[in-house]
Chains A and B, each alone.
Chain A
Amino acid sequence: MKADIKIKVCMGTGGVAAGGADVIRAFKNKLKTAGIKASVERHCSLHKVGCRGLCAKDVLVDVIIDGNKTTYQDIKPDMVSGIVKEHIIEGNPIIDWTVGDEYHNFHRKQIKVVLSDCGDIDPEDISAYIAVGGYEATKKVLTSMTPEETIEVIKKSGLRGRGGAGFPTGLKWELGRKAQSEQKYIICNADEGDPGAFMDRSVVEGNPHAVIEGMIIGAYSISADRGYVYIRAEYPLAVERLRRALDQARKNKFLGKNILGTGFDFDIKIKLGAGAFVCGEETALIASIEGQRGMPRAKPPYPVQKGLWGNPTVINNVETLANIPYIIRKGAEWFSSFGTEKSKGTKVFALTGKVKNTGLIEVPMGISLREIIYDIGGGIEGDRAFKAVQTGGPSGGCIPAELIDIKVDFESLAQVGSIVGSGGMVVLDETDCMVNIAKFFLEFTQSESCGKCTPCRVGTKRLLEILERITSGDGKEDDIELLEALSNDIKATSLCGLGQTAPNPVLSTIKYFRHEYDAHIKDKKCPAKVCKHLLAYSIIDEFCKGCGACKRVCPAGAITGEKKKAHTIDPDLCIKCGACFEICKFNAVGKG
């Protein structure tokens, strides 16, 4: 047996959560016991790789024999022996376990730049990155380009910040270059905190060297000799892989003194964030690195004028930086061939919520929402009706079903009251209550407000309280107007991006789903049947078999009835926990 066998197991966060480590262990054991170790010892290699995107089908495993790749989905450790026996030993792939159309559709409309190597290379091995062209961009820039030329390439590529605001990266670097100071810094913002977002996490976990390379090139362009990666401590795998990658980069002379013999010095420190959402705001992030409480300050001066310890500082997002080496390697024209006129390149999104294929996707800017949800996402779970999609997390807004053909780029989303943001995309269907969604995001922003400025600290609390009373049936006639007025005032008066965008989910849900607010307030009904206080449970006599299951499960003793006769629920005793609804096998419990 002389075959060259490679096995790649997804060990991104999704993969790890689905049991990737056990799958790897099972492969090691089975290969050993099958005696393959002896015969193919030098040829058979087992890799962990970063996120493959389709987290819904994790653990994903590639088995590559002599270049022929077979991808398996939903692999559990007990399936490994079958793969080893039938596929690796006997050469017959187990078709039933391989990925289906969904996997291929999921990838078909994606264009991968940032994620091109993610999920393919071992993120813990620098040689794997170098083998696919890694650090070539660093060599090229450091040995044959001036900082000005480098900045020119980035400007020409049209790359805009992927952290949310979309500021042109080349322009930011140019400002950093022009800032006069002996000490300058470059910071990678990996403090990804939006609920439902895991783009930056996956990039750092799957391809940390691309981020490091982006930072080296950025540092060279602005003449910084020190860099920080501000990353959440809640991302232990990302931190570990980044730490390992930094060590390897130092050993290979890509970091440290006199990089590649060019006389350029640069090194990177990791600073762990303590899990404050507001620390993703750049001035709060700087305060946090300085050891202060993470609270934003007024701009100007901007960090590029006066940043970390008062020195000019360029802050770029993970995805922005991970784009850099590919742009340098393949050229500005190549990069700007993707996307729209004003939004160039691709964008990574974390597709979550009620779609069939949840996961990490990278699409060209300007792709339609429909393509993302139906082609890549595979449509709505259970083929229910699509209702809206929340982009940009708690700072963004919802886009209703009627706007599904909208292009996903910075300008188009802003026009309809949402944002691209950092790239969270939560898909909602007919079973989601939009008032409840607004409340969910407000709960988040309220508890994450730093407390510095009044409108954000108290204003979001009052917004949340109004939403709470609407969802619990105590909404008042003029509450919608009050929400709108307060939202607009909070947006206008808040200090930082957190407060300025926190009311967006409220405003956009009112804009597109005002009727749902009205139903809650005037009719005391929740159309999606989500808001507990607005629901009434009752037993439908003709379906009830009198089995007594609901009576036994009811914690409030609200259900009475004789055996084999229709039961009844006493609405005064009912606490609306929904236990009877869950347990009834005959659909005899109705809610509404």
Chain B
Amino acid sequence: MITLIIDGQKITVPEGTSVLDAAKKLEIPIPTLCHHPKLSPYGGCRLCIVEIKGMARPVTSCTTPVNEGMEVTTTSPYIERLRRTVLDLLLTDHPNDCMVCEKAGDCTLQELAYFYGLRELRFQGEKRIYTKRDGNPFIERDTEKCILCGKCVRICDEIQGVGAIDFAYRGFKAKICPPHEKDLDCEFCGQCVAVCPTGALTGKMWALKGRQKDIREIDTICPYCGCGCNLTLHVRRNKVIRVSSKEDTVNEGWLCAKGRFSYGFINSPERLTKPLIRIAPKESSEFGVRSSGLNSSLVTRHTSHFKEVSWDEALDYVAERLRDIKEKHSPDAIGALASARCTNEENYLFQKFMRAVIGTNNIDHCARY
């Protein structure tokens, strides 16, 4: 364990802890744009600089490991001036169009500009202008708002293991893009979107649906697979307009493309919300008319219709039909397919039901075929 002093307060932390994390334990706020606790330290934005006694120049607290007896000053007129310059520089090359930005109210850059009271900028000059819009279906990339913190690059590489984007070009023209500046063509997990501190990366389907202040957060579990990732639904006017996940959850805040972007079914008019029982048309047999050619079964299906029933009715109906088949044709006439979208417990119960109640081994799982 290492003991050090931060702003006059003593703290003991494990060896290898960064000065930034040690300060966080003391609830001393240090501004940063490029740091993420689960990604490798980067030291790019230069906002988390602190003064350490005995060191000639300010150092970034995110990349500096603690040392025994270290004396750290996290704020001073000098340090604040430097941070102000860095922020000023970032804002000179930013659209500063917060009034129409999706990210307003949830943007770290905006937040810092507010706390540093940066209405007037000391510097002016060229801004990067990128007119190209990305043709992918999920992720809106507004490179003009990018501050090159590199979080998206690191999460794609270190957490997702995909490496779909990286830095390109040098100097003022440096930017983050897919190889050869093509349209983004990746897994679309949207992890990059989740960690972007500005409005440079957002969900395409989020546009003009409502900003952070407009929404109610509702925690739930993702229905897509058995992983059980925690979701936070962003709900505005009783509609889900966005999905995120919190860091202190089983999935550590990470989501996949389905969990993050495939919530469109919730409000789909085609979504089934009640059980339906198919009513066979009177003129056809139970399994359809098979005599009038190849497509006749389809014809039959089209002409059949459904009746809305209660869950009790539906379950009774299924139980009754299963019992009939079992008696008439033996249990092995029945087969069942479980779903990867169910939990382990649900899948266990289902096979138990098939084996112990129905009496057959005809049970399989969609992930196997």
Contact = CB atoms under 8 A, between A and B. Distances in A.
Contact of B171 (A298, A455, A457): A457
A69 interface: no
A455 to B, nearest CB: 6
Contacts, number: 107
A575 to B, nearest CB: 23
Interface stretch (A115-123, A459-467, A514-522): A459-467
Contact of B81 (A300, A450, A489): A489
A298 B57 contact: no
Interface residues of B, number: 38
B174 interface: yes
Contact of A458 (B150, B166, B172): B172
Contacts of B65: 300
Contacts of A452: 42, 44, 148, 150, 167, 174
A486 B45 contact: no
A482 interface: yes
Q: Name the residue in A276, A297, A451, A486 with the highest tally of chain B Cβ atoms < 10 Å from its Cβ.
A: A451
Interface string B116-133: 000000110110000000
B90 A451 contact: no
Nearest to B59: A298
A62 B148 CA distance: 56
Interface residues of A, number: 33
B83 to A, nearest CB: 8
A461 to B, nearest CB: 4
A293 B171 contact: no
Contacts of A453: 43-46
Contacts of B125: 461-462, 465
Contacts of B42: 452
Interface in B129-149: 147-148
A446 interface: yes
Interface in B79-136: 81-82, 85-86, 89-90, 92-93, 122-123, 125-126
Contacts of B63: 297-298
A447 B171 CA distance: 5
Contact of B170 (A450, A454, A489): A450
A295 interface: yes
A454 B43 contact: no
A453 B43 CA distance: 8
Majority secondary structure of chain A interface residues (helix, strand, loop or mixed): helix
Contacts of A298: 41, 43, 59-60, 63-64
B82 A492 contact: yes
Contacts of B265: none
Given A449-B171, A495-B46, A455 B122 contact: no
A458 B90 contact: yes
Interface in A459-515: 459-462, 465, 482, 485-486, 489, 492-495, 500
A449 to B, nearest CB: 5
A451 B169 contact: yes
A455 B86 contact: yes
Given A298-B60, A462-B89, A462-B92, A493 B46 contact: yes
Interface in A222-237: none
B171 A448 contact: yes
Contacts of A465: 125-126
B359 to A, nearest CB: 59
Contacts of A460: 171
Contacts of B90: 454, 458
A486 B171 contact: no
B66 to A, nearest CB: 12
A489 B122 CA distance: 13
A460 B92 CA distance: 13
Interface string B26-44: 0000000000000001111
Given A298-B43, A298-B63, A462-B125, A454 B166 contact: no
B210 interface: no
B49 interface: yes
Q: Name the residue in B58, B64, B89, B93 with the highest tally of chain A Cβ atoms < 10 Å from its Cβ.
A: B89
A454 B171 contact: no
Contacts of A489: 81-82, 85-86
Contacts of A500: 57
A492 B166 CA distance: 27
A451 B167 contact: yes
Contacts of B82: 489, 492-493
Interface in B220-248: none
20 contacts: A278-B170, A293-B167, A298-B59, A298-B64, A300-B64, A300-B65, A447-B170, A450-B170, A451-B174, A453-B44, A453-B46, A454-B46, A455-B85, A458-B90, A458-B92, A458-B93, A460-B171, A485-B85, A493-B85, A495-B46
Given A293-B166, A451-B148, A462-B92, 7 more contacts: A293-B167, A298-B60, A451-B171, A458-B172, A485-B85, A486-B85, A489-B82
